[in-house]
Amino acid sequence: MKKFLCALLAVCLAVSFSSFASAEWKFERKVTIVCPWGVGGGADSTLRPMATLLKPILGQEVEVVNVTGGNGVTAVEYVYKQPADGYTFMLGTQSLFMQDIQGTTSMNFKEEFIPVARLVHAINVITASKKAMDRKGYKTFSEMREYVTKNPFEVSVGMLTSTGLDGASLKQALEGLDILDVSYPSGSEMNSALVGGHIDIMVTGTDEIEGLIAAGDVVPLLALSENRMKRYPDVECSVELGINSVLGPARGIFAKKGTPQEAIDALVAAIEKASHDPSWQAFLVQGCYDERPGFAGPADYAAACENDYKLLTDYLKAEGVMKKDYYAK
Amino acid sequence: MFELICNVLLWAGLLYAYFFNVLEAPIPDRTARNPYTLKPDIWPKAIIILLLVCIAINIVNIIRKNRGNTDFTFASMFDMRIRRWLGIALVVAASFVLEPLGYMATCFLVLFLYGLLLGQTHVIRLFVFAVLVTLLLYVVFSVLLSVNLPRGTIPELRNFSLYVEGVVSSVKSAIGM
Amino acid sequence: MSTWELFTSGFSVLMDPYTFLMVIFAIVVGTIFGALPGVSATMAVALGLPFTYSMAPVPAIVFLVAVYCSSITGGSITAILFKIPGVPSSAPTTFDGYPMAQRGEAGKALGIALGASAIGGLVSALAMLTLSPQLTQAALSFSPSDIFAVTFMGLSILTCLDSKNVLRTLISGLLGLLLACVGQDPMYAVQRLTFGSGELIAGLEMIPVLIGIFAVTEVLKQTTATKKLSADEGNASVNTKMPSFREWWGIKWVLARCSVIGTIIGILPGAGATIASFLCYSTETKLSKHPEKFGTGIIDGIAASETANNAATGGAMVPLLSLGIPGGNAAAVMMSALVLKGVQLGPLLLVNQPQYLSATFASMVVTNILMVFVAIGIAKIFAQILAVPYSYLGPIIIMLAIIGSYATNMSIADVKIMAIAGVLGLVISACHFNSAALILGLVLGVICEGNFSRAYTISRANLVAMFARPVAGTLMAVSVVLLLWPIVSPLFRKKKD
């Protein structure tokens, strides 16, 4: 409750300041946004169009810098070393929270970084390989679940690092089932393994595989969301099946603690403005990011992050790899 | 002798790593329970075992080959010239001062000092060369390729880098880039 | 659409003067980007992205492909002249290119590198145009155990890299494999072998280690007082004599084999140009009649790695265009460019819009031919730097090494790793270990372990089932023979005596 009140207070402050905050803070040189993942990946291709839109609004160059490695940790350390002067921000997802909870970051990410604004919030989908489906004879998610129950350790599931968000998502969706988890270092390797029938199902966002779904090589089985997806109305969603799994990758901007509030406010205002831009709206549709509300301001995003932190702490605790417990009593 | 010492040190280091450093964090519970996963310590451990065997054979070979060899003394270990030691020190030092001093100062110092080390005697010419190359590399990597070269953490040097960046961006906008 | 129609429709895209000019521009900047250390082919393509914002999708991909192919080629220039590979895939080019340049045969080395690149690129472009559907099916049928077998074969050739020194070469390769394990493991992100250092969590990237062991070690070796350093006179002038036709004819099979292997490796997602050039270099060492000459500066070595890495470019485009799955990082950047333009990638793309394939093909053909001339010009400018006295050149190389290892990831840790690798290079040569084998182990280590682990899980821990596949089984059998041969063959010889 206390946290909620704090958040509420933050919203009020943000709202009251936002009207003249942008007038107060003027970006005087180029703004850098660090992307912890490589060029051409999902995170990068979300950030770049936003950076392009922000440039005319802020009146300064907005540069995307890819600092990759260590599942995002290298980027966190890089930004942490930069001065909190309002000219360096970073893109973050729940993967960074998980690294934090597992103790791989040298600082407490949760305490040293503040959520600024969420850009997109995607839906994870469990998809199946057409080849493998024909071989094993299941057609829907429920049939697949039945198959796994009868044949433990027969179905292989692809994901990007099993201690990542996909792993957590999957654990919730297939609670108690014996599956073979197979980690892949990149989406492209996993997608081709799925199409080739080397793995049976996988957990991912749908942006990179829309074409494969359209061609019928990849079949969506279950959307891990509250409602069915607009583009796949026939695909069941987890909540309607009574499965409590709605985790999906949320990408947002973070700032180092101590960054001038005026700079943060100015950036939030600019991002909000950019997210109404028609070209951003078109991008959301193109990237399958239009299924859930994307933009969220500091308070909403902070609340969402808090929620995810709790959920992921529980998950990692159960896996026995938790090092930092922010919720220890 | 140098070779023998290196091999023995490597062997001992690997043995230590085998016991203490192969896994430095717990394996996720789900992975540990699944009978069909390759645990993350198997692969490196297999390599270390193979290495221990191979290096042991190598050590035996070295000793056998050098039995009765009069040159096989400690003195040969310090064969390295003093200049090379200085070179090593300079390269390692450069990698450590890059963060605090930033690109500009580090680049100038490396070019100047290493030039001296390589026997350049015209100090003034070397000074001019170091300044010019520092600027040239800055233009190529920072201005044209937009690589964010380190600005340094010492306030004066950081402000200097920011000042140069400001100059560059105003020149850029003046010529309409 | 018939092959001929594809052919003509592709070139008609390039007939547009604006597109053609942009391709020329792409070749020039691509070659320069490629030649600069620290700017990989992926970064070069990413730097080319802003130019495509105003283009239609087809010219955009034509432009990016031109940047991609020429940057892979440009990497060989600095590899040969300074022992710093401009792009990672040119690393094996340094093994033979740099010794040749040292002997004053830089012109010949560059000529072979550029010509071989063009041939590799053209062969794979042709394969892409005519065999795309078949190649796609082949790529999809590669299971993790097959990919493991391919990389394992690459590793087993290790023992042939230096036939006089099998044991030490083997140790070097194994050390490389072990270094690849440092950091978070590829499957479960468990920390390994970091010795508590936060800077090692991200693992050891190949580029800093490579630049350190090659370029920095070389400068350190030159830093001696006993050797009178010619402080004022320049190095021997760079001989720009080009290779003769007879020399080209002598390596015809190298070119043919490496074009094919390079294309196939390029198709496999997760492999790519760097793996292709390393595998081809080691394969050619094995197949050569004079393996002992590899590494001392022969044209076969340069031809092998440069043919292969350019052949991989065509391969990488195949899964991107026919499935919407990028074959490598550079292809992933191109994919993001197309997605931003609203192109729906996937198996239906080539059915509905075959001009993507044909235009890519046309661009690759034009780029691979024109880039030879452009690259020769750029190489001549770079070669001027060689004429600078070593007391100036040495420090420049050290600085390029620092920037090159920093720029990849903006990581100070990588610079430290580079410096330590430079010192380690001295130890390696003092102990007669083989730095090429170490790098090969480091490059193949991650992909080798990852695929073994995946194959192990998928086959439910059954090693027999894992290799009971035609590709994996054959390759593993060959690998075992290759591995055991240097150990067994002396026994046979002794019996005969």
pLDDT tens column, C195-235: 888 888 888 988 899 889 989 998 998 887 544 444 334 44
d(CA A217, CA A214): 8
Residue B126 belongs to domain spanning: 82-174
Q: What is the nearest CA distance from B104 to chain A, expressed in angstroms?
A: 17
Instruction: Reply yes or no on whether the pLDDT at C382 is more than 90.
Output: no
Give the orientation angle of helix C57-82 with respect to helix C106-141, to 10 degrees: 130
Instruction: Report the residue from C181, C394, C399 with minimal CB separation from B107.
Output: C399
Interchain pair A188, C46: CB under 8 A: no
A18-22's contacts with Cβ under 8 Å and 24+ in sequence apart are A18/A265, A18/A268, A18/A269, A21/A261, A21/A262, A21/A265, A21/A266, A21/A269, A22/A265, A22/A266, A22/A269, A22/A270
Coil vs helix vs strand at A115: strand
Q: Return the pLDDT at B69.
A: 64
Question: Which pLDDT tens digit goes with each residue over B17-73?
Answer: 999 888 888 888 878 888 898 989 999 999 999 999 999 999 999 888 887 665 555
Interchain pair B111, C456: CB under 8 A: no
Instruction: Reply yes or no on whether the pLDDT at A24 is more than 80.
Output: no
Q: Which residue has the higher pLDDT, B169 or A16?
A: B169
Residue A10 lies in a domain: no
Residues B21 and B62 in one domain: yes
Residue of C nearest to B54 (CA): C171
Domain final position from B32, B64, B79: B79
Residues A54 and A196 in one domain: no
Interchain pair B111, C395: CB under 8 A: yes
d(CA C324, CA A235): 22
Would you place residue C454 in the very low, low, confident or very high pLDDT band (cuts 50, 70, 90)?
very high
Question: Which pLDDT tens digit goes with each residue over C96-118?
Answer: 999 998 888 888 999 999 999 99
Is the minimum CB–CB distance between A38 and chain C shorter than 8 Å? Answer: yes
Residue B153: CA atoms inside 13 Å, Cβ hemisphere, count?
12
d(CA C159, CA A101): 44
Looking up tokens 């593993």, which residue turns up?
A: C476
d(CA B72, CA A95): 55
Instruction: Reply yes or no on whether the pLDDT at B74 is more than 60.
Output: no
Residues B112 and B63 in one domain: no
Interchain pair A318, B31: CB under 8 A: no
Helix spans in C142-272 (H): 144-156, 166-179, 206-211, 217-222, 245-250, 252-267
Question: Which pLDDT tens digit goes with each residue over B101-117?
Answer: 999 999 999 999 999 99
Residue C40 belongs to domain spanning: 3-496
Which residue of C320, C454, C459 is the best one to mutate when testing the A interface, meaning the one whose CB has the most A CBs within 10 A? Answer: C454
Instruction: Report the residue from B26, B32, B169 with minimal CB separation from A30.
Output: B169
Question: Which pLDDT tens digit goes with each residue over C24-60?
Answer: 999 999 999 999 887 888 889 988 888 887 889 999 9
Q: Return the pLDDT at C112.
A: 94
Residues A129 and A237 in one domain: yes
Domain final position from B79, B98, B117: B79
Domain final position from B61, B79, B97: B79
The number of distinct structural domains making up chain C is 1
Structure tokens at A306: 């808090």
d(CA C347, CA C17): 31
Q: Which residues contact C415 (CB under 8 A, 6 or more apart)?
A: B95, B98, C208, C402, C405, C406
Which residue of C148, C193, C446 is the best one to mutate when testing the B interface, meaning the one whose CB has the most B CBs within 10 A? Answer: C193
Q: What is the mean pLDDT of chain A?
A: 88
Interchain pair A29, B35: CB under 8 A: no
Interchain pair B35, A153: CB under 8 A: yes
Considering only A136-145, B155-164, C186-195, which range has the smallest mean pLDDT?
Answer: C186-195
Interface pTM, i.e. ipTM: 0.93
Domain final position from A241, A272, A298: A241
Q: What is the nearest CA distance from B161 to chain C, expressed in angstroms?
A: 16
Q: What percent of chain C has pLDDT over 90?
A: 44
Q: What is the nearest CA distance from C172 to chain B, expressed in angstroms?
A: 9
Interchain pair B40, C422: CB under 8 A: no
Residue A324 lies in a domain: no
Instruction: Report the residue from C39, C181, C452 with minimal CB separation from B38.
Output: C452
Instruction: Reply yes or no on whether the pLDDT at C303 is more than 90.
Output: yes
Residue A132 belongs to domain spanning: 125-241
Query: What residues does A121 pair with on adjacent strands?
Result: A250
Q: Return the pLDDT at A19.
A: 43
Q: Return the pLDDT at C232.
A: 38
Q: What is the nearest CA distance from B166 to chain A, expressed in angstroms?
A: 7
The number of distinct structural domains making up chain B is 2
Q: What is the nearest CA distance from A182 to chain B, expressed in angstroms?
A: 9
Interchain pair B118, C38: CB under 8 A: no
Q: Which residues contact C229 (CB under 8 A, 6 or more apart)?
A: B118, B119, C222, C390, C391
The number of distinct structural domains making up chain A is 2
Residues B167 and B124 in one domain: yes
Do C150 and C475 touch, CB atoms closer than 8 A? Answer: yes
Residues B169 and B136 in one domain: yes
Q: Return the pLDDT at C493.
A: 66
Residues A132 and A212 in one domain: yes
Instruction: Report the residue from A32, A162, A318 with minimal CB separation from B148.
Output: A32
Is the minimum CB–CB distance between B28 and chain A shorter than 8 Å? Answer: yes
Residues A109 and A191 in one domain: no
Q: Which residues contact C280 (CB under 8 A, 6 or more apart)?
A: C92, C257, C258, C261, C262, C304, C305, C307, C308
Q: What is the CATH number of the domain that holds A51?
A: 3.40.190.150
Instruction: Reply yes or no on whether the pLDDT at C496 is more than 60.
Output: no
Residue A16 lies in a domain: no
